Amino acid sequence: MTSLTMPQRSSSGSGLSGRKLPTWSFIAVAIAVAAIVLGLFAVTPLQGRVDYFVVLVPAYVVVQSIIAGVFEGRRSAKDRLATLMVGVAFIIAVIPLVGVLGYTIARGLKRFDVTFLTHSMRNVAEQDPNGGAYHAIVGTIEQVGIATIIAVPIGLLVAIYLVEYSRGRLGAFVSFFVDVMTGLPSIVAGLFIYALWILALHQGYSGFAGSLALVLLMLPTIVRSAEEMLKLVPSGLREASFALGVSKWRTTLRIVLPTALPGIITGVMLAIARVIGETAPLLLTVAFASSINNNPFSGAQEGLPLYVFSESSLPNETAINRAWAGALTLIIIVMLLNIVARIIARFTRARG
Amino acid sequence: MAKRIDVSGLNIYYGKFLAVEDVSMSIEPRTVTALIGPSGCGKSTFIRTLNRMHEVVPGARVNGKVLLDGDDIYASDVDPVNVRATIGMVFQRPNPFPTMSIYDNVVAGLKLRRRVRKAELDGIVERSLRSANLWNEVKDRLKKPGGSLSGGQQQRLCIARAIAVEPQVLLMDEPCSALDPISTLAIEDLIGNLKERYTIVIVTHNMQQAARVSDRTGFFNLAGVGKPGRLIEVDETAKIFSNPTEKQTEAYITGRFG
């Protein structure tokens, strides 16, 4: 951890300068504490690498704060303590992120090749080293694509209604149900579509049924984020447009929406990222398939989450490797979508 | 093309709260009418009722009459969108549309209201920017975003945008309060030019400005916190600033207020 101290200055009579710990002292304290804890692990029953860091980090935070308190005074001790805790919290938050990403890339690259991207699992047994996820990639893109096409216009219109038009009761009612839907467990969305679309309406498994379940999950995210973005548009812009004699719907369409567009795109991306890895609703609505099915409206399809789920539950190393490569593909798709969204947002963002 | 406005017995409400009470005044065509008064006295609220911008705020309503050349703008068959097209407005803070270039900002009102032929637009942009004393400063960068201009230039851009739709009346709600003295001077000069063609109503906190730019001045005041604002008197600017009829007006303009 870097420190923000200045080199020690001789104290003048003004009372403005105080004693400051030099930068090297932080490294020295860290090494000393590390050594002492290491000694502690040697003589006591404490052991294990993880345990070592669990003891070391709080010990360093406490010792460094006490030393700062002794040399620099109480206020500085509190400052050091708070700074160190924020830093530790940051590292703890980043570890799983980097860990998940790094591990998935490392494991996924073993089978992430042209064969994987261009072949399905048709006539491929679990112990075979070949096979791929082409059918799953097609399925995921179709399912999530259809879900986005349905959810974005509805979500955007609901958000526009809530921000620009609703007065009183109905708006509060809609807003409440959007909140309730935000907390909807994904398996419940899947069950609902299964009961309605497949059991009651006899439609059979299809990618489209999966899309319907994903729509239920995307809608609240899109409504909420678009609503927040529309609220951020200064009312002065609406008034400026009204004052030019522009009608309300044209103001909304031509002034408010373009101003909020970059944020809305980000919200849509978050919604897509949220549902692209959903497995539970697809289990009930899309089912599994090992062959390519390009038609999302008829017959069972595969999706990347389903692919990862089924391959990872097999005992063979070949299958496990395919599962990791599938997970990596999922991450790459989300990343590519994010890059595309950034580019779109850049071309449409408020200038100046 | 300038029109006159006659206000009679106008009460302005926010929900149940009576914000401005019983205003009656006439605004002559091709003149500048300044509205002065302490903060919270209802000047801005009043000016916003003149083009029905007041009702954009939920719960806001009025009763009384506002006549534009004899037609009541609050009549039930009047579309507020048409009122605002006839009576333009410039706001306290410059608010150019951030997604649009300087050029698009100027023609935003036209393009958003009706189909216009592209060939017409160039002429309208130049004419409006010249009227707003901004043409020479921006003619080489019309495609740059409106937000890239300085505050004073942005405000003149907003004025250009307002006059591009050729309103009959121009309302200005403290147009200079966010600007430095040089930009203020530029806008005051502009007001002097614009009054040859438009009826102008300007709200200002700056009494020197009211004295410099206006032909007639109205003084608003309120009796106390929570009480409605009232129009105390309206008269020739010279008379208001030299020999006002009401004691309150004299106290306010000489700085012995409250």
Per-residue pLDDT for B217 more than 80? yes
CB A150 within 8 A of CB A211: yes
Structure tokens at B121: 């637009």
| Average pLDDT of span A299-309 | 92
The pLDDT tens digits for B23-70 are: 999 999 999 999 999 888 889 999 999 999 998 888 888 989 999 998
Give the number of other CB atoms < 10 A from CB of residue B168. 19
For residue B53, give the nearest of B165, B231, B173, B197 by alpha carbon: B173
- A123-127: Cβ within 8 A, 24+ apart: A124/A290, A126/A314, A126/A315, A126/A316, A126/A318, A126/A319, A127/A316, A127/A318, A127/A319
Mutate which: B99, B107, B124, B163, vs A, most A CBs within 10 A: B99
The pLDDT tens digits for A2-28 are: 555 555 554 455 677 777 788 888 888
Residues of chain A in contact with residue B97, where contact means CB-CB under 8 angstroms, are 237, 240-241, 255, 259
3-state SS class at B60: strand
Asked whether the beta carbons of residue B158 and residue A245 sit closer than 8 angstroms, the reply is: no
Rounded to a whole number of angstroms, the distance from the CA of A255 to the nearest CA of chain B is 7
3-state SS class at A21: coil
The pLDDT tens digits for A150-187 are: 999 999 999 999 999 987 789 899 999 999 999 899 99
Pairs across A and B, CB distance < 8 A: 90
- The H-or-E segment that residue B85 falls in is helix B80-86
Q: What is d(CA B137, CA B131) in angstroms, rounded to the nearest whole number?
A: 13
Mutate which: B73, B95, B124, B168, vs A, most A CBs within 10 A: B95
CB B228 within 8 A of CB B18: yes
Q: Residue A213: which residues within 8 A CB-CB, separation 6 or more?
A: A186, A189, A190, A192, A193, A278, A281, A282, A284, A285
Looking at mean pLDDT, say which of A107-111, A340-344, B220-224 comes out highest: A107-111
Rounded to a whole number of angstroms, the distance from the CA of B106 to the nearest CA of chain A is 11
Which of B84, B91, B98 is the closest to A245 by Cβ? B84
- The H-or-E segment that residue B81 falls in is helix B80-86
Q: Burial, A250: exposed, middle or buried (Cβ in 10 Å; 0-12, 13-18, 19+)?
A: middle
Q: What is d(CA A39, CA B121) in angstroms, rounded to the nearest whole number?
A: 81
- The H-or-E segment that residue A3 falls in is none
Q: Residue A162: which residues within 8 A CB-CB, separation 6 or more?
A: A171, A174, A175, A223, A227
3-state SS class at B87: strand
Mean pLDDT of chain A: 88
| Helical spans, DSSP H, in B114-257 | 118-131, 135-138, 151-164, 181-194, 207-213, 237-242, 247-253
| Average pLDDT of span A47-56 | 84
Q: What is the ipTM of this complex?
A: 0.89
Hey, is the C-beta of B58 within 8 angstroms of any chain A C-beta? yes
Per-residue pLDDT for A230 more than 90? yes
Q: What is d(CA A102, CA A87) in angstroms, rounded to the nearest whole number?
A: 22
Interface of B with A in 129-148 (CB under 8 A): 144-148
Give the number of other CB atoms < 10 A from CB of residue B2. 19
Interface of B with A in 73-92 (CB under 8 A): 81-86, 88-89, 91
Hey, is the C-beta of B177 within 8 angstroms of any chain A C-beta? no
| Average pLDDT of span A242-255 | 92
Rounded to a whole number of angstroms, the distance from the CA of A256 to the nearest CA of chain B is 9
Asked whether the beta carbons of residue A258 and residue B99 sit closer than 8 angstroms, the reply is: yes
Which of A242, A259, A352 is the closest to B145 by Cβ? A352
Residues of chain B in contact with residue A251, where contact means CB-CB under 8 angstroms, are 112
Nearest CA in chain B to A167: B58
Overall pTM > 0.80: yes
Which of B84, B95, B112 is the closest to A250 by Cβ? B112
B233 against B257, higher pLDDT: B233
Per-residue pLDDT for A351 more than 60? no
Q: What is the pLDDT of residue A14?
A: 66
Hey, is the C-beta of B175 within 8 angstroms of any chain A C-beta? no
The pLDDT tens digits for A131-152 are: 889 999 999 999 999 999 999 9
| Average pLDDT of span A210-223 | 95
Per-residue pLDDT for B113 more than 90? no
Per-residue pLDDT band at A352 (split at 50, 70, 90): very low
Residues of chain A in contact with residue B165, where contact means CB-CB under 8 angstroms, are 244-245
For residue B48, give the nearest of B79, B86, B90, B77 by alpha carbon: B90
Q: What is the pLDDT of residue A349?
A: 62
- Which residues of chain A have a Cβ shorter than 8 Å from any chain B Cβ? 167, 234, 236-247, 250-251, 254-255, 258-259, 261, 348-352
The pLDDT tens digits for A252-281 are: 999 999 999 988 998 999 899 889 989 999
Q: What is the pLDDT of residue A13?
A: 58
Mean pLDDT of chain B: 89
Residues of chain B in contact with residue A237, where contact means CB-CB under 8 angstroms, are 95, 97-98
Asked whether the beta carbons of residue A244 and residue B161 sit closer than 8 angstroms, the reply is: yes
Residues of chain B in contact with residue A352, where contact means CB-CB under 8 angstroms, are 98, 144-148
| Helical spans, DSSP H, in chain A | 23-43, 49-72, 74-108, 114-118, 134-160, 169-182, 186-193, 207-232, 235-243, 248-251, 257-276, 280-285, 304-312, 317-348
Asked whether the beta carbons of residue A348 and residue B99 sit closer than 8 angstroms, the reply is: yes
Residues of chain B in contact with residue A261, where contact means CB-CB under 8 angstroms, are 99
Per-residue pLDDT band at B220 (split at 50, 70, 90): very high
Asked whether the beta carbons of residue B84 and residue A348 sit closer than 8 angstroms, the reply is: no
Per-residue pLDDT band at A1 (split at 50, 70, 90): very low
Structure tokens at B9: 């017995």
For residue A160, give the nearest of A148, A150, A174, A181 by alpha carbon: A174
Determine the residue type at B237: T
Residues of chain B in contact with residue A240, where contact means CB-CB under 8 angstroms, are 91, 95, 97, 158, 161
Asked whether the beta carbons of residue A239 and residue B148 sit closer than 8 angstroms, the reply is: no
Per-residue pLDDT for A285 more than 80? yes
